[in-house]
Amino acid sequence: MLGEFELIRHYFAAAACARSGGEVVLGIGDDCALLQLPPGEQLAVSTDTLVAGVHFPDGCDPFLLGQRALAVATSDLAAMAAAPIGFTLALTLPSADPLWLGEFARGLDEMALACSMRLLGGDTTCGPLCLTVTVFGRVPAGQALTRHGARPGDLLCVGGVLGEGAAALPLVLGEQKAEPAVAEHLLARYWSPEPQLALGEALRGRASAALDISDGLLADCGHIARASGVRLVVEQSRLPLSPAAVALLGTAEAERCALAGGDDYLLAFTLPPAELPALLEAGWPLWPIGRVEAGQGVALVDTAGDEIRVTAHGYTHFG
């Protein structure tokens, strides 16, 4: 039977992503990790918890779970325009199953390397399966992108095609089947979303507000509207719908996924219009989908500019 410390050593301390270096002066093995930030930089910190049966199905592939747990947490660094440093992992496990741990650690390690994230430490306990990932990043003082800088006249943009996370859900839960190419694409988007770290950094000093879409476009736009004291207008005709979601679910349902489905982990941001041409020219993936106005709340409008009533805005716990 694998003991706690043997488990930590074998699966986590020995992982490639657990090596010190960069800002990580001291990693796993002591009471704390030590980070050294370059002068003039601020530390960005965010925590995400994934609970079995709520955020992922019981019995799902541990390799994919490792990838997804780190990707969704790292996406918060992208949203703040922070450069990745590393993460801690608080792991609660029903048992120390070597097969499960090996695959989970492999998925985590692959995503960590893809995102330039180092494993800094964590905690390992016994109980119902639950993961908490805390991510750390760095950003030049005053240059983080927050939710509160949007101004009337700005454009509202997103960093990719919307709705794929939500469209993938029935496939993830085994409630629906799809053509192999469509299923493969959507499942990959769900299990290994790519945090838009490079886009976030490119938006530093340009975007006026940003976040990553985790709960649904309209719900998340509501956060920017509230924090900035403005009204966000989303033009239905400009939504970049996912071809895979349309193929699987049809246009109307793909649109619902784009507006109110969660799990996309793409950036949504507001941008003074003068900033748009240079970003497009540089080839950044971005789609203007609306604008910022004086007022409050989020409105969805049709091509005539008339407001469309929507019932579901996104996902909330306890809701």
User: Which segments are annotated as binding site?
Assistant: 31, 46-48, 55, 76, 122-123, 147, 212, 214-215, 263, 315
Q: How far is the CB of 104 from Mg ion (least distance, A)?
A: 24
Residue nearest to ligand ADP (CB): 121
Stretch of residues binding ligand ADP (CB under 6 A), selected from 28-36, 57-65, 232-240, 261-269: 28-36
Residues 6+ apart with CB under 8 A from 90: 122, 123, 124, 125, 131, 132, 133, 134
Does 108 bind ligand ADP (CB under 6 A)? Our answer is: no
**E strand or H helix at 139, and its extent?**
strand 130-140
From the list 157, 170, 10, the residue with the least C-alpha distance to 96 is: 10
CA dist., res. 209 & res. 217, Å (int): 14
- For helices 62-79 and 180-191, the axis angle rounded to 10 degrees is 60
Q: How far is the CB of 32 from Mg ion (least distance, A)?
A: 8
**If binding is defined by CB under 6 A, does position 8 make contact with ligand ADP?**
yes
* 31 sits near Mg ion (criterion: CB under 5 A): yes
Contact 234, 305 (CB under 8 A): no
Question: What does the DSSP 8-state code read for residue 306?
Answer: P
Contacting residue, 6, 16, 25, 29, with ligand ADP by CB under 6 A: 29
Query: In angstroms, what CA-CA distances link 214 with 127, 220, 221, 296?
Result: 27, 7, 11, 21
Q: Is 89 in the site for ligand ADP (CB under 6 A)?
A: yes
290 binds, among ligand ADP, Mg ion, none (CB under 5 to 8 A by kind): none
- Map residue 269 onto helix, strand or coil: strand
**Nearest approach, Cβ of 12 to ligand ADP (angstroms)?**
4
Q: Which residues are annotated as a binding site for substrate?
A: 55, 263, 315
Which range of residues in 114-122, 181-189, 227-235, 250-258 is near ligand ADP by CB under 6 A?
Answer: 114-122
Say which entry of ligand ADP, Mg ion, none residue 254 contacts (CB below 5 to 8 A, set by partner kind): none
* Residue 271 near which of Mg ion, ligand ADP, none (CB within 5-8 Å, type-dependent): none
| Integer CA distances (angstroms), 99 to 50, 62, 105, 222, 312, in order | 20, 9, 10, 42, 40
DSSP state of 10: I
Q: Which range of residues in 29-37, 43-51, 188-196, 209-217 is near Mg ion by CB under 5 A?
A: 29-37
Please identify, using beta-carbon distances, which residue of 105 and 246 lies nearer to ligand ADP.
Answer: 105
Nearest residue (CB) to Mg ion, 5 versus 312: 5
Kindly tell me the number of DSSP H helices and DSSP E strands found in the chain: 10, 13
> Does 12 sit near ligand ADP (CB under 6 A)?
yes
Nearer CB in complex with Mg ion: 31/175: 31
Count Cβ atoms below 10 Å from residue 279 Cβ, excluding itself.
18
Taking the CA atoms of 171, 309, 146 and 282 in sequence, report the sign of the dihedral they define: positive
Residues that contact Mg ion, how many (by CB under 5 A): 1
**Residue closer to Mg ion (CB basis): 31 or 281:** 31
H or E stretch covering 161: none
Distance (Å, whole) CA 51 – CA 269: 28
Structure tokens at 124: 């390992």
CB of 31 to Mg ion, least distance (A): 4
Q: Which is nearer to ligand ADP, 122 or 137 (CB)?
A: 122
User: Of 42, 49, 116, 124, which one interacts with ligand ADP (CB under 6 A)?
Assistant: 124
State the minimum distance, in angstroms, from the CB of residue 296 to ligand ADP.
Answer: 43
Q: How many residues does the chain have?
A: 319
Query: Where on the chain is the footprint of ligand ADP (CB under 6 A)?
Result: 8, 12, 28-31, 89, 91, 119, 121-124
Q: Which residues bind Mg ion (CB under 5 A)?
A: 31
